[in-house]
Amino acid sequence: VAAPAAPSGTPFADDDEAARNALVGAFLSHRSQDPFTLLDVPEDVQPVALRKAFLAAADRFAPLRFHTAELKEKAEGLLAAYARAYGALSEPEQNALWKKRRQAQREKARGTGRPTAAEQFRIRTDLLDATAQFDEAKRRLEARNFAGAFEYFEYACDIDPRPLYQAHRAWARYLMKPEAHGRLVLQELQELVRQEPALEEGWAFLGDVARGEGQWALAEDALRKAFKLNPQQRRYVQLIQDIARRR
């Protein structure tokens, strides 16, 4: 039996300068883009078209297309971002929230809008204060207003996408609807702690979500890393012991 012919053409996109430049450009700009822009879809996009746009975006910079660690890492980061965008626009509540935020931004840009009382907070000057948004989000989280907390964590991340804010946003996303958001949030938090391994809250939230998803090995590993970063937090020890009893 003859050996199969070797594949022709460029085996990896690393060797294509245009592909490399496109990947790097997309990676550098994706953090400043909302889900509609990231997936290049209109605000009234329908589910089938949204899915096609996500699949096309995921394929465009698929990690398997790249060989070098640096480019593969960027491709993986983009894939995670596309997945988060798809998840956000597939969820009616989050889809509506992004539309409202876009509308508020348009009204602010025009300077002629007539915002409702609920929208005024989004477009007044202190919108630029990420700490204020984050503090309000935590208050809502403590009050178990998970959707409201997620909204304000989103605001904080838009102003200042620091890892701490992103970790809390992921946790609020999970608490809003654990049965629907579990897998997405696990992916989001794993990507976050990969980039920021010294973020205690990232590991702690990853451990809590993994526990909720029944992924005990992942939960234990994450909680051990959180404990290593903060040995004063005895909750981690209790949770690790609880996991050991379950396994």
**Span 122-134, pLDDT tens digits:** 544 345 578 888 9
Confidence label for 78 from pLDDT (cuts 50, 70 and 90) = very high
Residue 112 is predicted with a pLDDT of: 52
Spatial neighbors of 241 by CB under 8 A, at least 6 apart, are none
Tens-digit pLDDT profile for residues 98-115? 898 888 878 777 765 555
Owner of token pair 């060989």:
67
Residue 125 is predicted with a pLDDT of: 39
Residue 114 is predicted with a pLDDT of: 55
Spatial neighbors of 146 by CB under 8 A, at least 6 apart, are 140, 172, 175, 176
Spatial neighbors of 45 by CB under 8 A, at least 6 apart, are 36, 53, 89
Query: Tokens for 131?
Result: 């700490």
Structural Rg of the chain based on CA atoms: 20
Cβ atoms of 229 and 235 within 8 Å: the answer is: no
Cβ atoms of 204 and 236 within 8 Å: the answer is: yes
